[in-house]
Chains A and B, each alone.
Chain A
Amino acid sequence: MIKLPSVQRDFTLIYSGDPALDLPAFASDSASDDEKQASLEARAQALKVARETGNWPIKAGESPTLFHFTPDPGLAYDYFESEIRRGHQRKKPLSAHELAVLIFRIALRKVENIGPLKLEFEDIDGYRLVSAKFVESIYALGDVGRALVAELGALAYERIRDPIGPL
């Protein structure tokens, strides 16, 4: 079940490339630059509204993969910050993708409709994180897997870092 955006309870995110989402189609290769730009804007707007309102456009009869995140990872957020600190101390700051993966592992609580993959957790330095094995199983899907973790991790980070947005 889709959970609405929340500052108190778990909320749902859906990957923008999920085939069950009913988003405006990309313009064809033969379309003009203006048409391509318009289709990208329409798609971005539909995603923005879905993420803000929790009203995701789903194709009839289809079930997207639902990723449920917590808005407040509690102590595990200390682990996230300590990893950032360690990166700076080593003079090798975490990349944007590494940060997204870390938040994905800290904040993800539950996944629905993900086929044979099974969400597992592991303890790292006393903190409960999504297991590296689970992330690797998503990566095994290819480029789409990496893109999924990066996108959802970045979106979850926005909500956790700045839960009370200006809107």
Chain B
Amino acid sequence: MIQGLRLAPWVQAIARREDLAIADCEKCMEMTTKEQRQAMGCGYELAAPEEMITSLWSPPDGKAGFRHNPKLPLLPVCAGYTTKLPEVWEALRAWRHWQKGELQSFCGGMPTGALLIALEIFDGEVNACNAWEMTPESEGGGRK
């Protein structure tokens, strides 16, 4: 769930700019072979040995891009899969309500500790992604 939450804003931002194959799993499955999907780290397929995962999508990593601890590399699972996990979608929906101060309405009561942590992770990454979108390309951002 952590990887899905962290990559979701980046997948959305890049999909707005270009045709991003991983953004639609059904379409991806129609257009690719099982071996190609395994090379992309598709979560629906049997995991291939790590050295065979050669086409894993990753978010922009320029100066203002996606940051992560180099000692904790991204898991070799496609962002198209992780960002669509139900708990990730739940957190994304909750985030919309949380922004408007209506989280308890969404939850039908108090949010769980896990949901609050998920919101913090997602919100932090949304901010990082927004900063990247506003930073000029010449400075390692995504603004053209």
15 contacts between A and B (CB under 8 A): A5-B85, A7-B115, A8-B107, A8-B112, A45-B46, A49-B43, A52-B43, A53-B84, A164-B2, A164-B87, A164-B121, A165-B1, A166-B75, A167-B2, A167-B82
Residues in B neighbouring A167, C-beta threshold 8 A: 1-4, 43, 75, 77, 82, 85
Contact flag A41-B46 (CB < 8 Å), given A7-B87, A164-B117, A167-B1: yes
0/1 interface trace, chain B 13-55, chain A, CB 8 Å (1 if under): 0000000000000000000000000000001111000000000
Residues in A neighbouring B43, C-beta threshold 8 A: 49, 52, 167
Contact flag A72-B112 (CB < 8 Å), given A7-B118, A167-B4: yes
Residues in B neighbouring A166, C-beta threshold 8 A: 1-3, 75
Residues in B neighbouring A164, C-beta threshold 8 A: 1-2, 87, 114, 117-118, 121
Query: Is B112 a contact of A7 with CB atoms below 8 Å?
Result: yes
User: Please, how many angstroms separate the alpha-carbon atoms of A6 and B94 in the complex?
Assistant: 12
Query: Is A7 a contact of B2 with CB atoms below 8 Å?
Result: no
Q: Total A-B residue pairs with C-beta atoms closer than 8 Å?
A: 66
Chain A residue with the shortest CB-CB distance to B90: A6
Contact flag A8-B86 (CB < 8 Å), given A164-B1, A166-B2: no
A163: Cβ under 8 A from any B Cβ: yes
How many of chain A's residues have a CB under 8 angstroms from any CB in B? 19
User: Please, how many angstroms separate the alpha-carbon atoms of A5 and B85 in the complex?
Assistant: 8
**Which of B4, B86, B114, B117 is A72 in contact with, Cβ under 8 Å?**
B114
B91: Cβ under 8 A from any A Cβ: yes
Chain B residue with the shortest CB-CB distance to A54: B86
Residues in B neighbouring A49, C-beta threshold 8 A: 43-44
Residues in B neighbouring A42, C-beta threshold 8 A: 46
A94: Cβ under 8 A from any B Cβ: no
